[in-house]
Amino acid sequence: MIKFSTDFIWGTATSAYQIEGAHNADGKGPSIWDSFCTIPNRIKNNENGNVGIDHYHRYKEDVALLKSQGFKAYRFSISWARIMPEGKGKVNEEGIAFYSNLIDELIKNDIVPWVTLYHWDLPLALEMENDGWLNPNIASYFEDYVKICFERFGDRVKNWITLNEPWVVAILGYGQGVFAPGRSSNSEPYLAAHHLILAHAKAVKLYKTSFTHQKGTIGITNNCDWREPLTDKPADIEAAERALLFFLGWFADPIYFGDYPQVMKDRLGDRLPKFTEDEKELIKNSSDFFGLNHYTTMYAAEDDHSGIKSSVYGNGGISEDQDVILTQDEAWPLTAFNWSVVPWGCYKLLEWISKRYNNPDIYITENGFACNDTLENGEVNDLERLDYYRQYLEACNEAIENGIKLKGYFAWSLFDNFEWASGYSVRFGINYIDYKTLKRTPKASALWFKKIIKNNGW
């Protein structure tokens, strides 16, 4: 029987725009996602998060569900525009009250809050008036915002995540244009990423200098898929490593080493912004833990420019900068997002992180399975999701047994919800949502997690 330690953190996760709804209620300002969703054909079926699953009004019911399923921790994000409608200046006290009440409800039910300060929903005013993450002043605006969060919630919140998946913000938001704010460029992603890293570092410094009395921890969550060399040829091995550095190393290397990976500096030249010596000092060692969102694996091969293209969407960055071709094995099962199910890739990524970054404490802050669940006779048959979780947790357990300091696991997601550009067409949750009635129905996977958490294994 596989067992996890009794202090292993079992949690599940959500984000504000995906579940809260109440998009313009009680003084909340618009975010870039509120705006992006109004552009025709950007979101599947032209859907939006205006109502979401109405968590804003039903949070007590949702916390009760969390408690009934045995979860010990809950990761959620705060909407910057609900706290500061214009992204700076005036504070919205009704927004403060909502998150304060949610935190109190969690604690009352013995659930530890893990708070993400930014999960992609930038206040629209900062994008329209200040060029969003392209403006170097954004780091100071972010610092002002997080200070309010530390002041108002830090007496009860002891686990902070500054940014969720800055790679997504940079590449999908400013590179490929498929996520808000919808910009397409081969240079803006590197500038946006630069400012995201500095914003993270400034927030951490503020917390470490002015809020040490709160005795909490603070870090960042990055996303990464594993890149397995297609062959044992040195060129393919180098391509896989390069792909990882352009994906995860892009954001993790500055935080652990103080600067970007050398391969990025060599290949990008002046297109990659440079940190000053003071900024390097600010950024280095600016995370108490390694937050990781992981879902899938791909094969990586050297692009010899023969005309062969990646067989999968995207490649972890801007393709012409990496010279990497990505493919999937046809034998690998696929999720509804066409993401391959490859548990051993999770193990290898954890091992790579541990070796490269000197064995940090790691928390998997997202991992999950998307499929087209349906409700039949009041139940959801999500055996594929159960198999996914079981296999990935086996890989996690193997990593722990081999000395990797994996301390916790958050299943994505607590609920079916608005899945960004895919709208409501795919389901990630361990709880089914009827989008007409907004009724919550636990899936088999939720009941399975309850048994795991109770027994610390299976």
User: What are the residue numbers of the active site?
Assistant: 165, 366
Q: Would you state the structure tokens that stand for residue 348, as one six-digit string?
A: 């290898």
Instruction: Please check whether residue 243 is in contact with residue 316, taking contact to mean a CB–CB distance below 8 angstroms.
Output: yes
Query: Rounded to whole angstroms, how far apart are CA atoms 211 and 115?
Result: 16
Strands (E), 192-241: 217-223, 226-229
Strands (E), 361-457: 362-366, 375-376, 379-380, 406-412, 431-433, 440-442
Instruction: Please check whether residue 163 is in contact with residue 220, taking contact to mean a CB–CB distance below 8 angstroms.
Output: yes
Instruction: Please check whether residue 50 is in contact with residue 430, taking contact to mean a CB–CB distance below 8 angstroms.
Output: no
- Asked if the bond preceding 181 is cis, omega within 30° of 0, the reply is yes
Q: Is 119 annotated as ligand-binding?
A: yes
Alpha carbon of 248 to those of 112, 113, 273, 343: distances in Å?
28, 26, 17, 19
| DSSP reduced 3-state for 224 | coil
Rounded to an integer, what is the distance from CA 263 to the centroid of its chain? Answer: 25
Q: What is the phi/psi pair of residue 40, to 5°?
A: -55, 140
Q: Is 412 annotated as ligand-binding?
A: yes
Listed residue (140, 72, 136, 63) closest to 106, CA to CA: 63
Q: Is 277 annotated as ligand-binding?
A: no
Helices 55-68 and 93-108 meet at what angle, rounded to 10? 10
Q: What is the phi/psi pair of residue 275, to 5°?
A: -85, 140
Q: Would you state the structure tokens that stand for residue 207, as one six-digit string?
A: 């917390």
Q: What is the phi/psi pair of residue 265, to 5°?
A: -65, -40
Listed residue (226, 286, 218, 223) closest to 254, CA to CA: 286
Helix or strand run (H / E) with residue 383: helix 383-401
Q: Which residues line the annotated binding site for substrate? A: 18, 119, 164, 295, 412, 419-420
Q: Which residues line the annotated binding site? A: 18, 119, 164, 295, 412, 419-420
